[in-house]
Structure 1
Amino acid sequence: MPKACKRLAEVDFPIAEVSRHAAREKSIRHGHPSTLHLWWARRPLASCRAMLLGLLLPDPADPHCPAEFKARAREALTRLYAGAQKPGDEDLRRWLLKFIADFANWDLAADPNYLEVARALVRAAHPEEPPLVVDPFAGGGSIPLEALRVGCEAFASDLNPVACLILKVMLEDIPRHGPRLAEELRQVGAEIKKQAEQELADLYPKDPDGATPIAYLWARTVRCEAPNCGAEIPLVRSFWLCKKANRKRALRWTRGSDRSVGSDGSDGSWEIFEPRNEREVPAGTVSRARATCLACGAVLPPERVRAQLAAQRGGADVVFDEHGRRVGGARLLAVVTLRPGEPGRHYRLPSDRDYEAVRRAQQRLAQLLAEWEHGGKQGLCPVPDEPIHAVDTRNFWVCKYGPQTFGDLFTARQNVALVTLAGRVSLLKGGNEEALALSIGRMADFLVSIARWKADAECPVQALARQALPMVWDFAEANPWTDATGSLVSQTERMAGAIESVCITLASVAQVQLADATKHPLPDETAHVWFTDPPYYDAVPYADLSDFFLVWLKRALPDHPLLRDPFDPENPLTPKAREAVQNERSQTDDGRPKDRAFYEEAMARAFAEGRRILREDGVGSVVFAHKTTEGWEALLSGMIRGGWTITGSWPIATEMASRLRARESAALATSVHLVCRPRPEDAPVGDWADVLRELPKRVGEWMERLQAEGIRGADLVFACIGPALEIFSRYSRVETAEGREVTLAEYLEKVWEVVGRTALENVLGTAEAKARNGVAGALEEDARLTALFLWTLQSTNDAAGTQPAEAVDPSDPSDPSDPSDSSSPTDDEAEDAPAPRRTGGYTLVFDVVRRFAQPLGIDLPKWEGRIIETQKGVVRLLPVVERARQLFGDHGAAAAAEWMERHPGRTLQLDLFVESGQEGAVPRRSRAGGKRRPGEPHGLELDQGRQVTTLDRVHAAMLLQKAGQTHALRALLEAERERGPDFLRLANALSALYPRDSEEKRLVDAMLLAVPR
């Protein structure tokens, strides 16, 4: 392809259609390649497939596009679309974009007709040889997998051993063995299950009535430290067992006379019942790590809960005395069973037989360790004794409660089961051992003491569903020998379905290598496409998290060449010193902290390597979706320093609407796909004045395009950075008239200013205000701040779909189906955080708010406590109801009620006023007598020195509407109509900005209906 010819992705892209398919794909689990094994922040296949085609195919309307390509492309497309025969180049471009949009649909990803057309188009664009697609941060393998699907060659590398094993199975073993691998996985998995089940039958006994336990529900315990108590406190976040619409079961404890709470292991004080409503189910015993004693009601503080559990190494196992009686540790709450010939799950209380099986497991584990020690400790310890690497405990809350090694995260019975399975896999030699090893990794994710029980689905939840090792008070222990969730059969079946899905679509085998992206193993100018999804700054601690799987994979595949640290043979865990992440608590090989400068340098080296291995006519693409401006600026700095220029930018929605939360941990709905080319060595020097003149037009046009595609809020903000960088990155450097070089940080400040001003013009009509008043908008700072805040919060998946800020709710864990969900702590982990004082309003990361406010002249401290509240780097926009006190005085509501009771039938008047003489003061109308009567409402009462703003008056009107004060509201609206248009202009803007189902929108819309016509 001629170098001068633009690629399709540099010209146009079907954003809306691809976004719809990509977001939908997150809900597809069965048969999807992502179910092969967990990997965090995996990109949807739909977006990768569509972007790859856009990068590979030339623009037919480009004058340098080969005629041969256009002829062959029309021929291929007519197999699906009869209208593609039209001769026009613009028509051909539209049909190519339609095909890209249609082929992004998961339902068509394996369709033979679409597969053949995709491959024919790629062959037409690259007739000499299949193009090579290189991904140096391959992770879960979405990009190289899609490269193989459309007929390319693929080179996938990663620094992480777990990622490399996933890549090898997906991109080498599956294409090489085909459907046979899925069948072997089922057969060998069934044989291993049968052998292990027989060997460990006494650890998972069936019930005397023939029922089979499929899960054991446990609770860690602590002792009450109140005087004269000492009762055992089971740490239970929820007593619900089954919470389905047509069937409900729960657990409750009835106070006994001995106040022991069953400390002797008896069942007498517990019962399983069928609640008729939520109120009948008792509240959990633990909240924000504060444990409430069932016997005396005393509360054990978090530090004592932590200390007691730390003394038990996490408290996941039962403590027995020398006679085999339970005396402490984890307590079995209930057993979930399947009865022969009866549908559904059943629940029973624990028995002595259950505890006897656990004690036998502890004895078996002790025997395994003794044999290893007597054998001279040859090889790995059977139970993972590798330390949990938690330099930064933000994602490793479990470490605060005592576990020191990965083996401590598992109960004795879980360790014995996993050791047995790993040992069986390690004996295999037939080409299927790597896939079976991944099934052990999947098993560990469920068969661990930090796996929850999901009452509404009646199944265990994988432990690492989020990007964290959480602390879980009550946990579910799955029986690995059944067919239920968490069992070996269920895990191998899911993997087999993924294998069958992959193998029918791949045309060739990829090359997988464990490698550092900053020192790529490929020679110069070998790649046609360099396409990658790099680490997101400080978002995901990939190496630390994947250690959880590595320790078991190493025991299933001892001495495997991929499962090692190639830079440090003594390191038993994943490589961390070279991992390109920002984490100042971690260090590099030379002791340097991994700060922002380290991340920028690592990204610059990786991008420089990408530029080196890319062919002269090649193209690159980088996916990024970090939620902070620091992450974006660090990445962009690395790109520019690495020698790239951005030529396109396409935001693709990759998250389901149900996953978006307007809280400090909320992720963006879109991933921005930056298209880039190597910057020429002779790139010119740019003039700062020319760049600034071009910037507003470029941003304005792009915002208009994206809004038409349904892109909203923060997604729109970050998506505008790409086009803005197209201007800046095309130059070797940008200089002012005085010859001073303009830094990227300085330019990005201007970008934020332009985006903010453009947004305000759209939502507040400030363009009209500037023309009328000669100033940058007539509305005050608080109105502009509120408008920008709400505009930024808008959701791409729903133009008004923002969610209120939430209090942390321990009974509503994150959806386990989405492992890319953010890692905000739930109630179980957040014991050190202060309880939220408020649960309303909307939140944004402080950095985003600051970036908008500063260039627009908004003084954030001035509005602190008045319309915003900042805590721990998160800004909360106060809901209107929280402003009632500052607007109407300390006793406003009470005084109004008292006045109305003493003056029935009279109208409550609202007087807007400030101290006389202040600029912008609203004159107060005099009453008969000249003074306010005792108990009469003050109207707007603001601190001395603060003038009443248009936003204050709108909020006051909304509060009058809420209070049902129609006469006062009508008087206020009449006064505002006489004052000017600003009140209605702001009120209408807020109506468009407030979330669709919010209380604020209901109030402002109802208030607007009362405006005199």
Structure 2
Amino acid sequence: MAYKKKLIEVALPLKAINEASAREKSIRQGHPSTLHLWWSRKPTATARAVIFAQMIDDPSEHPEKFPTEEAQEQERQRLFRLIEELVQWENSTNEKLLNQAREEIWKSWRNTCEENKDHPLAAELFNPDKLPAFHDPFAGGGSIPLEAQMLGLESYASDLNPVAVLINKAMIEIPPKFAGKPPVNPESGRQKEITAGSWKGAQGLAEDVHYYGKWMRDEAKKRICHLYPKVEITKEMTKERPDLEHYIGQKLTVIAWLWVRTVKSPNPAFAHVDVPLAYTFMLSTKAGKESYVEPVIEGDNYRFTVKVGKSKDVETAKNGTKFGQGKEFKCLLSETPIDFPYIRAEAKAERLGQRLMAIVAEGPKGRVYLSPTPEQEIIASQAEPDDVPDTDLPKKALGFRIQEYGMVKWRHLFTSRQLVALTTFSDLVKESVERVKNDALTAGMSEDGSSLKDGGTGATAYADAVAVYLAFALSKQADLGNSLCGWEPIAQCPRHLFGRQAIPMAWSFAEGNPLGSSSGSWDVFIEGIYKAFSKTFEATKSSFSGTAFQADASTQDASIFKVVSTDPPYYDNISYADLSDFFYIWLRRSLKPVFTELFATMAVPKAEELVATPYRHGSKEKAEVFFMEGMTQAMHRLAKHTHPAFPVTIYYAFKQSETEKEGTASTGWETFLEAVIQAGFTLSGTWPIRTENGSRMRSMGSNVLASSIILACRRRDENASSATRREFLNALKSELPADLKHLQRGNIAPVDLAQAAIGPGMAIYTRYSKVIDAEGKALSVREALTLINQILDEVLAEQEGDFDADSRWALSWFEQFGFAEGEYGVAETLSKAKNTSVSGMVEAGILTSKGGKVSLLKPNELPEDWDPARDSRLTVWEMVHHLIRVLEAGGESAAAEIVTKLGSKADAARELAYLLYTLCERKKRAQEALSYNALVQSWPEIMRLSREEKVLPKGQTHLIEEE
């Protein structure tokens, strides 16, 4: 069939998508990611924009409606404005806006069906009354399937990892089953007064998760509160701490116990001493509320005491018992160095201990830091956990070092008291199932006798569903309730384990109070899940359909004729399976009766996981072969079974990149592209999506372009011919200039241009069955990327011919000197070659010449009263730098005033800004590059203001005559 290009294959409003995606990372309350942690989860803004643009025809495919380029661009901008609204977090549950997006998808789909009504599989593929289903075969954290569902598609999510499958069930499968239903808990009462239809989305389910979570907390208090005593402030304590006098007699709830690991001193004279391995003794670094631990030496031993205020010994308070460059420790009493080989040996001999360093309590006016007491330490040691998961840690894995310190089982990551808390809450998750079921039946919910895993929607299935979210709270308890959680002295709270995609060793740790009300408590976890429900699933309807299941993407056949968008594993960046065992052991303990098949194995499946891990496959080479073969199989299945009317969109994390003479190279990137191409795909677009803060540019030479690259792919024609290297080069030279112009007109940021240009370049490379070099060998992906970058540079350089002679001189001078001074003789010689003169350019107002030195004027050195209408020697160079001057000083409206005067001449200014950015990137001139990038990114708004406001100086009644 002849397909129509979708919007994502032509243009995207990247600036709006990037800004919304970056902003989303700072949104915690109510975000779907707060249901359960997953690594490298895609922002919902990105997923929503990509799927929408993947489903919508580009206006250029409908010349009957949009006959001119101008009409097509106007329609494209209308769709861009819709996307710009869609990606805003505040619009996640905006039903009016979501319905508008869904209607656009339906409109485009009905056009597709009409055009393919004579297709031999029309009944199966092109039903105008039913949208095609969606499938993500590497579903991970569930953002992509969730957004497909919110856009009105029947959503399928699969993953090999059972933790990911459960997260996706909680995102797309469970909420629609019980959407619109009232809560069943006996204390709500509201279910008796409000009909089921009055409950919006999954609010009723959220109410019950909240209620039964509180019930679990109350039950846990009955069973284990003796292990979490309050701290009574006695008169004795005030001898060292007069500031505690107004607390005498009060019993304060503990927020956290702060522990430090210890090892016996290697000095024989102090072999009885448990030396603290502390990276810092600081408890609070907040201005005006400083607090720290002070070790007090008493004979041949020591004790800890807590001080308030600034320490007199700043170095010790800040660095603890670190020694040298922080690579080892020292004995507190003898100052004998303690290196890591000694610590590791002691740890493996089970002689690594821990000692209470401080207690953080909740006072009437905030945090109160207290010295440790023997009673508190004894109570913690009395905890005796039972029925604890005994699963082994991986012997070796990416991001794991803790095995070197005697931690060889997952339970070793927790203190005895933490294990008691986790097993208690886990038992209560299991107990909650029967309680919820009975309450549901009492409240009048029907019973179909089927469990959740069997597709039930009655009381039994509902009880299973509530248990899933309660188990997610247990995962949060594990993440913030283990012995690798540090203490944050600025925020004054425990840090959760997974601040990054690794499990690092922690020498001091904060043990939060699960029965309290602050960070680390069960209450906080339940509230977080409740808030996620209130926002994420507010717009969920029972008509939405979602299914999550466990499957290997390289072998499954589940994606037949579905729209596909997916975020596969990133070569060797993240060891998902090894990391997720941390959660799996507790989820399995709590939910195995609910999902017997999903939790059938003792640990997460690892052998089939598509990551290039040398420790798992024996060598780096074997790991790469495994990744390549597995990813090619997975991509082949996507190419074979995806719906032919739509491109497949695939995310790739652009990491491990390096800049070489011939262009950007990355083993993971090239291997991934090779797998995509070998699977039978041709690329129709590559889009850089940044989810980091874009306000600054890091290391110009390191090519940190994007957090992810989105690949838009189509099935390659089975009858595609091969091409020679020369034919490929000729096609690049012929087609890439027009594609590049189109990208620039679409206002892609200069920082993203090189990566986006790979799309049309690889589209040419991949439309051939293969490209053959002069020796008869197939041209590799790396060689193709090198040629694409080479032609891109040539095309940008050729754009120089569009500029006036003065601007061409300035460009060449800037490449060599920037805004620094250079010799007059060099400048004059160059001016002859460019058919201009130094004196003429001084007159033009772009440079200064004095004392035998010449330099270009910086934007802030240009005259503020410049008017292009009265400039007798107007240059493109002036346009660009005056625009930068007014943009930085007065914003987009000030720049729009100049653009209005320039008319169509302004287009050349944008072209020069692209070229200057590329030059600055090559020369590593970050500050100037930021200015050129900012000008291009602001261009759409500048042009909008220019068109709408027609800002003109007083007395001027005409625009500069357009060329």
- Regarding TM over 0.5, the answer is yes
Cα distance in structure 2, aligned partners of 1:648 and 1:631? 19
Deviation at 1:89, TM superposition (A): 4.7
Tell me the equivalent position of 2:13. Answer: 14
Pair 1:522-2:558 in alignment: yes
Identify if the C-alpha distance between structure 1 residues 696 and 523 changes in structure 2 by more than 3 Å, giving closer, same or farther.
closer
Counterpart residue number, 2:227: 203
- The answer to whether structure 1 residue 310 and structure 2 residue 315 are counterparts is no
SS of 2:643's partner is strand
Check 1:674–1:778 CA distance in 2 against 1; reply closer, same or farther (3 A cut).
same
Q: Which residue of 2 aligns with 1:509?
A: 545
Q: Using a 3 Å threshold, how does the CA distance of structure 1 residues 634 and 205 change in structure 2: closer, same or farther? A: same
Q: Within 5 Å, which residues of 2 pair with 1:812-823?
A: none
Which of 418, 425, 434 does residue 421 from structure 1 map onto? 425
| 1:686 counterpart residue number | 723
Give the partner amino acid of 1:181. L
| Cα gap change, 1:290 to 1:973, in 2 (>3 Å) | farther
Corresponding residue for 1:334? 358
Cα deviations by residue, 1:87-141 (Å, 9 ceiling, x for unpaired)? 9554333211211122111111211210110111122223421221111001001
Given that 2:402 and 2:505 are in contact with CA atoms closer than 8 Å, whether structure 1 keeps it comes out as yes
Q: SS at 1:595's partner residue?
A: helix
Once the two structures are superposed, what CA deviation does each residue of 1:9-47 show, in whole Å capped at 9, x if it has no partner? Answer: 112211111111111111111101011110001111111
Deviations 1:713-742 (A, max 9, x none): 5x5544443332111011122234776543
1:750-780 residue CA offsets vs partner (Å, 9 max, x unmatched): 23544577789999x9x999x99xxxx999x
Change (3 A) 1:469 1:758: farther
Partner of 2:150: 149
1:293 maps to 2:331: yes
- Classify the secondary structure of the residue corresponding to 2:646: strand
For residue 415 of structure 2, the aligned residue among 411, 416, 428 is 411
Tell me whether 402-411 or 238-247 shows the greater mean CA deviation: 238-247
Distance verdict in 2 for CA 1:703–1:28, change over 3 Å: farther
Partner of 1:271: 306
Partner of 2:391: 386
Counterpart-to-counterpart distance in 2, 1:471 and 1:445: 14
User: Which one of 272, 277, 281 corresponds to residue 239 of structure 1?
Assistant: 281
How many angstroms apart in 2 are the aligned matches of 1:298 and 1:472? 22
SS at match of 2:59: coil
Instruction: Decide whether aligned partners of structure 1 residues 706 and 465 sit closer, same or farther in structure 2, where only a CA change above 3 A counts.
Output: farther
Secondary structure in 2 aligned to 1:434?
helix
Cα pair distance change 1:666/1:758, threshold 3 Å? closer
1:213 counterpart (254, 259, 268): 254
Q: How does 1:10-409 map to 2 (within 5 A)?
A: 10-63=9-62, 88-126=71-109, 127-177=128-178, 178-208=202-232, 209-230=250-271, 231-254=273-296, 256-262=297-303, 267=304, 270-275=305-310, 279=314, 281-286=317-322, 288-312=326-350, 315=352, 329-339=353-363, 342-361=364-383, 364-365=384-385, 368=386, 382-392=387-397, 394-409=398-413
The one-character-per-residue Cα deviations of 1:371-427 (angstroms, maximum 9, x if unpaired) are xxxxxxxxxxx21211101433x4002121110100000000000100111111122
Change (3 A) 1:534 1:221: same
1:749 alignment partner in structure 2: 786
Q: Which moved more, 1:350-359 or 1:187-196?
A: 350-359
Q: CA deviation at 1:681?
A: 1.1
Structure with greater helix percent: 2
CA distance in 2 between partners of 1:116 and 1:739 (Å): 54
Instruction: Specify whether residues 592 and 670 from structure 1 end up closer, same or farther in structure 2 by C-alpha distance, changes over 3 A only.
Output: closer
Corresponding residue of 1:578? 608
Structure 1: which 5+ runs fail to align?
A: 72-85, 316-328, 369-381, 788-969, 976-984, 999-1013
In the alignment, the residues of structure 2 paired with residue 681 and residue 778 of structure 1 have an alpha-carbon distance, to the nearest angstrom, of 51
* 1:455 lines up with 2:497 in the alignment: no
- 1:595 is matched with 623
Q: Tell me the distance in 1 between the aligned counterparts of 2:714 and 2:594.
A: 38
Q: Could you tell which deviates more after superposition, 124-133 or 25-34? A: 124-133
**Aligned in 2, Cα 1:333/1:563: closer, same or farther, shift over 3 Å?**
farther
Q: Sort the Cα spacing of 1:204 and 1:6 in 2 relative to 1 into closer, same or farther, 3 A.
A: same
Cα separation, 1, equivalents of 2:205 and 2:537? 9
| Residues 115 and 150, structure 1, Cα contact 8 Å, conserved in 2 | yes
Compared CA separation, residues 64 and 3, structure 1 to 2 (3 A): farther
Q: Which amino acid counterpart does residue 49 of structure 2 have in structure 1? A: A
Q: Find the partner of 2:647 among 616, 619, 639.
A: 619
SS in 2 for 1:211: strand
- Does the CA contact (< 8 Å) of 1:554 and 1:560 recur in 2? no
- For 1:696 and 1:487, the matched residues in 2 are separated by 62
Aligned equivalents of 2:408, 2:922: Cα separation in 1: 53
Measured in 2, the distance between the counterparts of 1:155 and 1:50 equals 18
Residue 26 of structure 1 contacts residue 656 of structure 1 at CA under 8 Å; is this kept in 2? no
**Contact 1:688/1:735 (<8 A) preserved:** yes
The one of 725, 739, 747 aligned to 2:762: 725
Give the root-mean-square deviation of aligned CA atoms.
4.1
* Structure 1 position 498, deviation (Å): 1.0
Separation in 2, partners of 1:131, 1:621: 15
Q: Distance in 2 between matches of 1:559 and 1:592?
A: 40
Instruction: Give the whole-Å Cα distance in 1 for the aligned partners of 2:408 and 2:80.
Output: 53
Kept in 2: contact 1:532–1:623 (CA 8 A): yes
Cα distance, 1:598 vs. partner?
1.6
- 1:749 Cα deviation after fit: 3.4
C-alpha spacing 1:989/1:611, structure 2 compared with 1 (3 Å): closer
Contact 2:920 2:928 in 1 (8 A): no
Structure 2 gaps, min length 5: 110-127, 179-201, 233-249, 434-462, 657-665, 819-849, 856-915, 930-963
CA distance in 1, matches of 2:406, 2:797: 51
The secondary structure found in structure 2 opposite 1:46 is: helix
Q: Is the 8 A contact 1:585 1:593 kept in 2?
A: no
Contact 2:572 2:611 in 1 (8 A): yes
Bigger drift between 21-30 and 222-231 goes to 222-231
In 1: Cα distance, 2:596 partner to 2:692 partner: 32
Q: Secondary structure at the match of 1:241?
A: strand
- Greater mean alpha carbon deviation, residues 645-654 or residues 634-643: 645-654
Letter in 2 for 1:425: V
Paired-residue identity, %: 32
Paired residue secondary structure (1:585):
helix
Partner of 2:587: 553
Aligned to 1:813: none
Q: 1:492 to 1:666 in 2, by over 3 A?
A: farther
1:995, 1:584 → 2: CA distance?
37
Q: 1:706 to 1:543 in 2, by over 3 A?
A: farther
TM, length-normalised to structure 2: 0.70
Pair 1:659–1:302, CA change in 2 (3 A) = farther
The equivalent residue for 1:609 is 637
1:445 corresponding residue in structure 2: 479
SS at structure 2 position matched to 1:464: coil
Q: What is the CA-CA distance between 1:196 and the residue it aligns to?
A: 0.7
Q: How far did residue 512 of structure 1 move?
A: 0.7
**Equivalence for 2:957:** none
Corresponding residue for 2:460?
none
Aligned partner letter, 2:25? K
CA contact (8 A) 1:21 1:104 kept: yes
